[in-house]
Structure 1
């Protein structure tokens, strides 16, 4: 016979944080149809209890910290997910580094969602954070521009302790049906676009080297998609335009590093990528937006 939550609790069985949060959510949902005065009264009572509990926790922790060895014991206790959740709710513990990085990603998730994509935080090991694109952002030819101009910038602007941001490869949800050749972050830019070349000068399957504002760029066309990368091997920064191009791949003429001109991915050393730049087609003209 199924056991009730009350039976488990009365016998000392520990309940998961998820189960308890579900109970709280269910109780909050019950109040949705209450008269406004009743809801306000219940909310005021809840806040008063929260304030009482928070002050009790602060005094308890302050008292225990003075005892020999208790500081370490309190840190161990805070590692428990339920203890941590309650102390975080009351503002007694500061958000963890993982939470802060994930909160930074929240600032750019609405933009990604508008293009059918998302990003998840894989791990945080200071000074490194690793992320993974999901949905349309996974495998998109402009994903590296999204990574540099959106994800990496959001993390480093909000969490200065993180100085290195890495993109996990090959484990996302895929999104070939929703690929955008222009990064959503480049698409938001209204100023700074510069004419690069006429669309007619870049036939399907072709790659062209252009010079724009002191940047040597590789422009490639794949059907209705155009990509733009710095003309510099990620290995040692040597120009790539003297290398062999075949089947959408370019091979560095100096050390034979091979790159996809559609995604910028390095097939020789997957941990590096070509540096992307913003690109769009306006009428019969290809324009680029150079990152600062």
Structure 2
């Protein structure tokens, strides 16, 4: 790993190390834990005050934009409430960033408004016919919005076809219970190396995932054919159609992995998004059978 990459990943994991140190202090008793938490609070307040002065001294809009665009600096500005972009702009930009992924699955999202800590979104597109695809899209949008605007209280999604408000917590319950297992994001920088038309397998967490690149888009699916339940390892990609090496079923990877021709079912989509500048996948904690 290059020195710059190591330094970047080192700071991105600082929060986890701080939490681990606080937890270690707790083993020495409540007094030690209280002192450790007070120390962290004092340091955070000190750097917050310094950052506030820095941003107040910046009179160049381009420089303020550059600072806010940096993942590490931008996250600290958010923590201290001094980010130069308001919540509406940040959410709008987050949706612009995730929109290409939604489009790759035939979906789209529109910001309806933000009021009283609630972000209201409208989902639309052909992906609505595939429940597993809809869940992955909701997961991707939820993550993008909450990363850009951690101060929001909740997100509500409105299905454009029926125009009824559905709390995202309710929608996301399908990810966290029943057929949909809990989901975790994993950084997979190797995805950047995929060439157009290339198919490759990845072990993400303990889950086997098949990824491919169609044009500029990197698309990923659980490595299981819904037709024969076998691994898709060795699958070939022709245009946007992925062919199972075992049963020869064909699936359109650009349209949520839907079966084409006489092939039925859907491959199970796996969200692929740039998180903190690194392509990442959201995979379930346990494998789930592909959609029939």
Structure 1-normalised TM-score? Answer: 0.37
> Is the radius of gyration larger for structure 1 or structure 2?
1
Tell which has more relative contact order, 1 or 2 (C-alpha 8 A, sep 6+).
Answer: 2
